[in-house]
Structure 1
Amino acid sequence: MIHAHQLARTFWVDRTPVEAVRGIDLDVAPGEVVAFLGPNGAGKSTTLRMLTTLLAPTGGTAEVAGRDIGADPVAVRRRIGHVGQGNGSFDGLRVHEELYTQARFYGISRRSARARSAELLDQLQLGEQANRDVARLSGGQRRRLDIAMGLVHRPQLLFLDEPSAGLDPQSRSNLWEHIARMRAEDDTTIFLTTHYLDEADSVAERVIVIDDGRIIADGPQDQLKAKVSGDLVTVELVEPADASAAAGIAARLPTAHAVSADGDVVGFRVAEGDTATPAVVRALDAAGIRLRSTRVQRPTLDDVFLSLTGRSLRDSEN
C-alpha cells in the first residue's frame, strides 16, 4: 500500500540546506495499522506530507495505493483519505451538507453521496447532529466529522495525523472504537501519527520510529520492546534506611542491572520480572527487610525510544 525508496526532503533556510528527511525506505502492506512515531522536528510530518502529495520530495520515490506520488498525485488523492491535525470542515455548512459536499468532490453521485453520508453519520454517532451547524459541534464531534470526511469515498488507505489531539480521554477512546470498527468492516490500511503512546500501544500492530530524518526502528511492538533490556521491577520498602541493603540484594539476582535506590524505593531491570520478583521478595524477607509493595512494569514504547536515542519521546515532545 506504501512503498518508498530513499525518500528525502531538503529545505533551504537562509541559503542553508536543512535535511528534514534523509532518504528513508518504507513498506506498508494492505490492511496494516502502522504508528509513525518521533519527536517534533524528527521528520514525521514532512514524511506524511510527501506521502499524501502535499509536499514534493527532493529525492527518492514513493508509490502510495499503487500510484506514483510525483507522476500521478491526483490518482493518489483519489485512493487515500487524509485527516490532518487541524479541522478540515467548514463552519458555514451543516454537518450533513459538509459530508455530502465532500462526497461530491470525489465524484460520487448525488444519490450515493446522500446514502454514504447517512451511513457515516450513523456509524460515527453524528446522526443527531446532522442538521446542526458545524461551528456548533463539540471538539469530539468535530473530530469524528473529520474522520467521516476522510472515509466518505471508501479509501484504500487512511492517513491520520494526530487524530485525537486535544480530545478528552473518553472522546479519544470513543474515536478509536469507531475507527477500529470501520477498519474491521472495510479492511482499510491506517498510517497514523500520535503523541499518545498508549494509543500506539493499543491500536497499532506495527511501530516505525523516526529521528533526525532517519528511520531508526521498525517492527511489531513486542519485537521492539524485546530489544529493551528487561522489565522494570520496583520495590517499595517500609524503612528507607534499608534501601542500600535491598539494592545490594537485587544486584545479585541473575540478569539484574540498572539497580537504583531512591528514598524508600529500589528499582532494577531484569529479563523476566514476574519470575525475579518472588526471588527478591524471599531474599529481602530473609534479610529482615520489610516491604510495602512490589511492581513489575513491562517496557513501553517510550522505553524503546529511550533505548534507541538516549532520550524520552515525551521529554522530546515537551
Structure 2
Amino acid sequence: MSSSISVEVSGLTMSYGTTKVLHGVDFTIARGEVLVLLGPNGAGKTTTIEILEGFRLPSAGTVRVLGEDPAKADELWRSRIGVVLQSWRDHGRWRVRDLLDHLAAFYRPYATRAGGPPRPPYPTDELIEMVGLGEHRRAKVATLSGGQRRRLDVAIGIVGRPELLFLDEPTAGFDPAARRDFHDLVHRLSDLQDTTILLTTHDLDEAEKLADRILILHHGRIAADGTADALARQVAGTAEVRWSQDGQRHVHATDDATGFVRDLFAQERMDRGRVEDLEVRRPSLESTYLSMVADERPSLEVVR
C-alpha cells in the first residue's frame, strides 16, 4: 500500500445471513483527503465504516487502512485513528478538561509512530479552544447542551491527533454558527495536520462545502465517485440559462453554458438587443443525489 494512500478497499462484500448489503465495493482515499460518504438509510454506509474501523469483519474482499488490515491491527494502529460516533455514553460527572486530559494520557505512549514524525496528543487547553468549548472547560459533561456535547464528541475523536479521522454525522444538533466553526476545523485538520477524513452526513450542503471527493452508496454499490461539481455535471443533467432581452424573458437548457453565454453576448454585439438579468443555474449536488437515490434499480453507473 502506497504511503500516499490512507485507505484501500477492493471487492468489499458483506452479508448478514442471506441478505447482502455490500456488493464488491472498491475505492481508495488519498492521504490528507476529505472524503464524504453519502447514501440513503440502508445503503451500506454504516457497515462500510465499521469494517474500516475494525469493528466488523467483512464477508469477502480486501481492506487496508493506514497499511494494515483493521481486523488484525494492534493498539499502535488504533492510536493512529480517531472516531466520532453519532452518540456515546459516558459519566456525566466528568468535567470537560479532566475528561480530555484523562483520554490524552492513553495516546502519549504511541506519540512516536514508525514511518512519520511524532504526533503527540493535542495539549488539552488547545484542543478545548479548537472545538469552541473554552468557556466550558470546567463544566460537568451532564450540564452541556446538545451542541456543546457534540463539540466534546469531536474533541474526544481528535484528542490523539489522528492520521485518519472517521466522522459519523458530526454536526447533528449544531446551530449554524457551530456548524460553520466545525467546517473551519475540518479544513484546518486536513490542511495543516495532514489528517485524512472520512465523513458521513445527510446534509448535502455540508458535503459540498467539506468534500474533496464524494462517494454515493446505493443498494450496497458505489453509484458515483467524484467531486461535487463533477457529479452535478455528469449525472444531474444540463444547465439552465435565464436572461432578458428586448423586454422578453428567455430560458434555455444547454450542456455547454459557457459556450451558450459567449454566443449570446456575441449576438448582443451584433445589435440584436442588450442581454440583461443573466443567470446560469447549474445542477446542484442535491439534485444529483436525489436523482440517483430515487432510482431503485440494483446498480447505477459509476461516475469518475
**TM-score relative to the length of structure 1:** 0.75
Residues 1:305 and 1:50: Cα distance change in structure 2 (over 3 Å):
same
Counterpart in 1 of 2:10?
A: 5
Counterpart in 2 of 1:35?
A: 36
Map 1:169-188 to 2 at 5 A.
169-188=176-195
Counterpart in 2 of 1:222?
A: 229
Shift in Å at residue 295 of structure 1? 4.1
Structure 1 vs Structure 2: percent identity of aligned residues?
Answer: 38
Residues 1:301 and 1:115: Cα distance change in structure 2 (over 3 Å):
closer
- Structure 1 contact 79–155 (Cα < 8 Å) conserved: yes
Q: Which stretch has the larger CA shift, 226-235 or 136-145? A: 226-235
Q: Cα RMSD (Å) of the superposition? A: 3.3
Distance 2:262 2:120 in 1: 61
Aligned partner of residue 67 in structure 1, secondary structure = coil
Matched, 1:305 2:289: yes
Map 1:1-318 to 2 at 5 A.
1-12=6-17, 17-72=18-73, 74-87=75-88, 89-108=90-109, 116-228=123-235, 229-233=237-241, 269-273=253-257, 276=260, 295-311=279-295
Aligned partner of residue 106 in structure 1, secondary structure = helix
Summarize deviations over 1:102-123 as a string: whole Å, max 9, x none: 22233559xx999721220122
Tell me which amino acid in the other structure corresponds to 1:97: D
**Number of aligned positions between the proteins:** 277
- Structure 1 contact 90–98 (Cα < 8 Å) conserved: no
Shift in Å at residue 75 of structure 1? 4.3
Structure 2: unaligned runs, 5 residues or longer = 1-5, 111-118, 269-275, 297-304
Summarize deviations over 1:23-64 as a string: whole Å, max 9, x none: 211211111111111111111111111111122212112111
Residues 1:6 and 1:113: Cα distance change in structure 2 (over 3 Å):
closer
Counterpart in 1 of 2:301?
A: none
Tell me which amino acid in the other structure corresponds to 1:23: G
Distance 2:262 2:20 in 1: 51
Tell me which amino acid in the other structure corresponds to 1:70: A
Counterpart in 2 of 1:256?
A: none
Tell me which amino acid in the other structure corresponds to 2:147: G
Distance 2:97 2:64 in 1: 33
Tell me which amino acid in the other structure corresponds to 1:209: I
Shift in Å at residue 152 of structure 1? 1.0
Tell me which amino acid in the other structure corresponds to 1:219: G
Aligned partner of residue 121 in structure 1, secondary structure = helix
Summarize deviations over 1:74-94 as a string: whole Å, max 9, x none: 444221101011146542200
Residues 1:298 and 1:76: Cα distance change in structure 2 (over 3 Å):
farther
The structure having more radius of gyration, on CA atoms, is 1
Distance 1:35 1:227 in 2: 18
Q: Which has the higher helix share?
A: 1
Distance 2:88 2:226 in 1: 31
